[in-house]
Amino acid sequence: MTISPVSRVPLSLEVAQRLRAAILDGTFPADTELPTETELAQSFGVGRSTIREALRVLQAHGLISGADTVSTARPRVTHERTAGAAGLALSTALQVGAIPLADLVALRTLLEAEAIRQTTSVPEAARSCLLTMAAAVDNADIHTFHAADVDFHVQLAYAGGNQALGFVIGVLRDCIAGYLLDALAAVADRGTMLARLLAEHQSIVDALDAGEPDRAAELVVAHIRGFYEPETS
């Protein structure tokens, strides 16, 4: 008979999982403080060092505050960093090869096209991004253009009112945004490339303004594929 080793989850992860469940089921609502390290240690019957490790796990997942500080004495439940944490996890999966870039780009085109179809008007924040991109074209400023480009797509993703679509698209966009910046930096004639991308963004807005969301969705797909497919093929 072969005996397999017993698999044991570290205490800190077990505590983190139980605290995570308590946060998700509303036992610890958003913007409330968790008990102190001492109180948590007593409740779980573990040492304070185990609690500290568990809290660091929750901070990394974006569920509690304190990821930017050393102290974890009274962390506060927050949802503000969940998108960033999700994006980081997805980006890590991409970088280690668990998810091919081509698959993420394909998923993004499907979701972003659907979000555009649900959009009835262009938010002013997206129009402002166009102005920022236009100024960046004049200066061949890839960093400013890149930041405005990312924001433009996220603003349109949320404009249709579907929060789930907006969130997932934002995470996907953040995950692969580095590829855009790297590709722009490698282009010899940056001005021409930025001008082309700006025109494609403007055509999407024009289609939405004309009341043609299906056309706008087609343009979004062509825009994304036209940029990334050479990188993913």
Domain at 11-80: CATH architecture: Orthogonal Bundle (1.10)
Q: Check residue 88 and give its pLDDT.
A: 66
Of the candidate CATH numbers 1.20.120.1780, 1.20.120.530, 2.40.110.10, 3.30.1330.90, the domain formed by 83-232 belongs to 1.20.120.530
Residues 11-63: pLDDT tens digits? Answer: 888 999 999 888 888 898 888 889 988 999 999 999 999 999 999 888 887 88
Burial class (CB within 10 angstroms; exposed 0-12, middle 13-18, buried 19+) of 134: middle
Residues 77-126: pLDDT tens digits? Answer: 887 667 666 666 766 766 666 778 888 889 889 999 999 999 989 999 99
Residues 199-212: pLDDT tens digits? Answer: 999 999 999 999 99
- CATH 1.20.120.530 positions along the chain are 83-232
Give the number of C-alpha atoms closer than 13 A to the C-alpha of residue 225, restricted to the C-beta side. 11
- CATH 1.10.10.10 positions along the chain are 11-80
How many percent of the chain have pLDDT more than 90?
39
The pTM of this model reads 0.68
Query: Rounded to the nearest 5 degrees, what angle is found at the Cα of 93, between the Cα atoms of 87 and 109?
Result: 65
Q: Are 224 and 109 in contact (CB under 8 A)?
A: yes
Task: Please report, as a single letter, which amino acid is at residue 218.
Answer: E
Burial class (CB within 10 angstroms; exposed 0-12, middle 13-18, buried 19+) of 11: middle
* Spatial separation of the C-alpha atoms in residues 81 and 60, rounded to whole Å: 9
DSSP-assigned beta bridge partners for residue 225? none
